[in-house]
Amino acid sequence: MKQVLSFLFFQMIAIISIAQEIQFSTVKIEGIGSVGLPSNMEIQGGAYKEISDKIKEINGVNASKVIFQQKNLNNFDGGSMQTYARVFIRTEIGTTGDFKKLSESLSQSEADEVNSTFKSQIESEAPRANAKVLEWYKATTTTLNNQNAIKYGYKRQIGVNKPVLVEVYMLQNNDRLHIITFEYRLDDNNWSPTFKSIKATVKIMQK
């Protein structure tokens, strides 16, 4: 029992230490709102973004509007390639009334519909990117920083790469749908507290 308590204590100290070192800056995104960018991440850009977008185009995946990634990846820094962390922020624009208002409650039946649609879509499209879905987490109603959302998730593996945990939040906002996706490699759980902090900074501008 003493060994277990010691292990938990040192794990807690490690998480607190990571949290204390990370600073956040506010990123305002047109048509969405704002989100905190942690100091251990950067906005994807430059040559790395061009290559990434080209790969998505080949695989038939829509490029995201804003992407956070681990720090120094834009510069192709070797150390930054030893981990994997992404936050994808994008918005689908419709017309007034296409979606519920951000403040309106969501039902589990709506979540079930999302689950049915995206589970089959993701599982069928995965092979095109040489990927497979290892485990699926059913869609449920939830909140993201006190804003109503539907969340689903899955574990994904591309080729022989290490498995990645994917969490998707969908927030309806009258004439638009905001989709915020969090991804990190399962063997590097240091990203979990960072992502928890990012989620607490998401502020959607109500339409």
The pLDDT tens digits for 130-155 are 999 999 999 999 999 999 999 999 99
Instruction: Look at residue 74 and tell me whether its pLDDT is greater than 60.
Output: yes
pLDDT of 104 above 70: yes
User: Which tokens sit at 34?
Assistant: 């704002």
- What is d(CA 95, CA 97) in angstroms, rounded to the nearest whole number? 6
pLDDT (mean) for 83-100: 94
Q: Looking at per-residue confidence, does 194 or 17 come out higher?
A: 194
pTM higher than 0.95: no
pLDDT at 52 over 90: no
Q: At which residue do the structure tokens 């979606």 appear? A: 99
Domains of the chain, CATH where assigned: 2-204 (3.40.1000.10)
> What percent of the chain is predicted at pLDDT more than 70?
81
Q: How many CA atoms lie within 13 A of 172 on its CB side?
A: 20
Q: Residue 23's pLDDT band (boundaries 50, 70, 90)? A: very high
pLDDT digits (tens, 9 = 90+) for 158-205: 999 999 999 999 999 999 999 999 999 998 878 999 999 999 999 999
Q: What are phi and psi of 139, to 5 degrees?
A: -65, 140
- Average predicted confidence (pLDDT) for the chain: 84
- pLDDT for res 79: 73
Residues β-bridged to residue 164: 156, 185
Higher pLDDT, 19 or 110: 110
Confidence of residue 7 (pLDDT cuts 50, 70, 90): very low
The pLDDT value given to residue 78: 66
Q: Beta 176-185 vs 24-29: how paired, if at all? A: unpaired
